[in-house]
């Protein structure tokens, strides 16, 4: 399950919660918190498909015809 970051709109307290996407947000100060967008550790490195535009090769051929 993913980790979601939440912030209380009243007091500013930030929490991390491991939960499903459909689970309700945690409460703080008697109200629901707001989910924050956080950075990811995912990155594409090396000589993989993103460098040689593997996904675009089929589209380029169709455009040339």
Looking at the domain assignment, is residue 45 inside a domain?
no
DSSP alpha helix (H) spans, 4-65: 57-64
Is this model's pTM higher than 0.95 or not? Answer: no
Other Cβ atoms closer than 10 A to 17: 15
- Tens digits of residue pLDDT in 5-60: 999 989 989 999 999 989 999 999 888 899 988 777 777 776 666 666 666 666 55
Domain that holds residue 2: 1-37
Looking at the domain assignment, is residue 61 inside a domain?
no
Query: Which residues, including other chains, have CB under 8 Å from residue 24's CB and lie 6 or more apart?
Result: 32
pLDDT of residue 46: 65
pLDDT of residue 38: 75
**Spatial separation of the C-alpha atoms in residues 22 and 52, rounded to whole Å:** 37
Looking at the domain assignment, is residue 30 inside a domain?
yes
Looking at the domain assignment, is residue 7 inside a domain?
yes
Quick check: 8 and 26 in contact, CB under 8 A? no
Domain count within the chain: 1
């Amino acid at each position: 399950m993913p980790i979601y970051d939440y912030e209380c709109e009243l007091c500013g307290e930030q929490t991390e919660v491991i939960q499903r996407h459909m689970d309700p947000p945690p409460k703080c100060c008697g109200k629901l918190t707001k989910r924050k967008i956080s950075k990811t550790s995912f990155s594409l490195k090396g000589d993989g498909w993103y460098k040689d535009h593997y996904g675009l090769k089929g589209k380029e051929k169709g455009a040339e015809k």
